[in-house]
Amino acid sequence: MTSHAIEVKNLYKIFGPRGEDYVDVVRNGMGKAELNEKHGHVLGLQDINISMPGGCITVVMGLSGSGKSTLIRHINRLIDPTAGEVLYDGVDVCKMNENDLRNFRRHKTAMVFQKFALLPHRTVLENTIYGLEIQGVERRESEKRALGWIERVGLKGFERHYPNQLSGGMQQRVGLARALTNNAEILLMDEAYSALDPLIRVDMQTVLLELQSELKKTVVFITHDLDEALRLGDKIAILRDGRVVQQGTGQEIVLSPADDYITAFVKEVNRGRVVHVETIMRPLSGSPEGLPIAADTVLEAAARTMTSAHLNTAHVVDANGRPIGSVDLQTIIGAMVMPASHHESKAA
């Protein structure tokens, strides 16, 4: 299996009739507000460099207007860049000819939208099959594929329903089934879950994570919600005013926020659900004690396991079950609350 990575390199988008003319002034430091005031152009994206590993979920997070949709739309070139590249398997999407681009969009990418974009006069099955119909796939084959995915997203029995007979969460499942039926390697999800009620939203996150553990798509998931980003993202890039202000794993971002802006964002995060025991373990001294706990277990889960086993000490094991460190309950609980250094640096 090849990597199917997406590399965004030195990407700029300046909206307006003469965007190219202003790339250099932006490179030389002119910000969004000044560009708008002085030159009447909108700085959409500025020097974006993100590598999105194949088979992983990369989350792009930021407040409204930070450039998230502009960025994701470059990946299937619904928007042309003002400067820079978007490489997929090493090929620049921005330089594809019309034919290659059409094939790339049709066969490699699928979009899942917030507003579902379902066709109201088509049933669940007909909506799911739509992409294959366009591709000219034979009816019997496309129906078989679609029915399989409809079942996988939990909609068995609803094949003949129309979108308006379904709840928001169920409509979003149809959107997902449709994307998966197209068998695209890249899933582009622009605030796909933002309109859903909180509980339904968590359900849909679970559906995505379960499917992803098996399918290993290259997913680009956009959200303005940090909890969602932390739950889904193998990697997270945070945008602000069209720039990447930090990128890394959720744990990296929560433990060492790059600036005050991100510190404010992550302040309320439940660290117990983000930080792995591996990060806080001590080196092993002597033989391993207590329960074995996998290195990537989050603190909250480790604490729960240890508490229910009435144990204060555990040892951390790597993917091969080899002991690599030890932890105790007190350290785990200490690490779940904000570290003292944080308060001190704020007070200073």
Tell me the closest approach of the beta carbon of residue 239 to ligand ADP, in angstroms.
Answer: 7
131 contact, one of ligand ADP, Mg ion, none, CB 5-8 Å limit per kind: none
Quick one: how many helices (H) and strands (E) in the chain?
A: 15, 13
* Sign, CA torsion 105/106/111/115: positive
Q: Which is nearer to Mg ion, 69 or 270 (CB)?
A: 69
Provide the residue count of the chain: 348
* Least separation in angstroms between CB 187 and Mg ion: 16
The one segment of 67-75, 115-123, 154-162, 337-345 that binds ligand ADP by CB under 6 A = 67-75
What is the 3-state secondary structure of 133-170? Answer: HHHCCCHHHHHHHHHHHHHHCCCCCCCCCCHHHCCHHH
Shortest gap between Cβ of 225 and ligand ADP (angstroms)? 13
* Per-residue x/- track, 4-43, ligand ADP (CB under 6 A): -----------x--------------------------x-
Taking CA atoms, 176 is separated from 8, 83, 113, 125, 137, in Å, by 25, 32, 9, 12, 19
User: In terms of CB distance, is 73 or 161 closer to ligand ADP?
Assistant: 73
x/- contact string, 44-83, with Mg ion (CB under 5 A)? Answer: ------------------------xx--------------
* Cβ pair 37, 117 in contact under 8 A: no
Q: How many angstroms separate the CA atoms of 239 and 13, rounded?
A: 14
Q: Pick the closer one to ligand ADP by CB: 191 or 278.
A: 191
* Contact of residue 62 among Mg ion, ligand ADP, none (CB under 5-8 Å per partner type): ligand ADP
Considering only the stretches 61-69, 115-123, 153-161, 257-265, report the one whose residues sit in contact with ligand ADP under the rule CB under 6 A: 61-69
Residue 162 partner contact from ligand ADP, Mg ion, none using kind-dependent CB cut-offs of 5 to 8 Å: none
Find the angle CA(291)-CA(293)-CA(296) to the nearest 5 degrees.
Answer: 170
Cβ closer to ligand ADP: 60 or 277? 60
Structure tokens at 26: 């932006």
Tokens of 306: 């240890």
- Measured from the CB of residue 41, what is the shortest distance to ligand ADP in angstroms? 9
Instruction: Mark 68-87 with x for binding to ligand ADP (rule: CB under 6 A) and - for no binding.
Output: xxx-----------------
Query: For residues 49 and 47, what is the distance between their CA atoms, to the nearest angstrom?
Result: 6
Q: Decide if residue 114 touches Mg ion (CB under 5 A).
A: no
Minimum separation from the CB atom of position 9 to ligand ADP (A): 19
Q: Does 65 bind ligand ADP (CB under 6 A)?
A: yes
Rounded to a whole number of angstroms, the minimum distance from the CB of residue 278 to ligand ADP is 33
**Kind of pairing between the strands at 42-52 and 6-15:** antiparallel
Starting from the edge strand earliest in sequence, which strands make up the sheet with 109-113, in order? Answer: 109-113, 186-190, 218-223, 57-61, 235-240, 243-248
CA distance 218 to 20: 30
Min separation Cβ 194 and Mg ion, Å = 9
Chain residues binding ligand ADP by CB under 6 A are 15, 42, 44, 62, 64-70
Chain residues binding Mg ion by CB under 5 A are 68-69
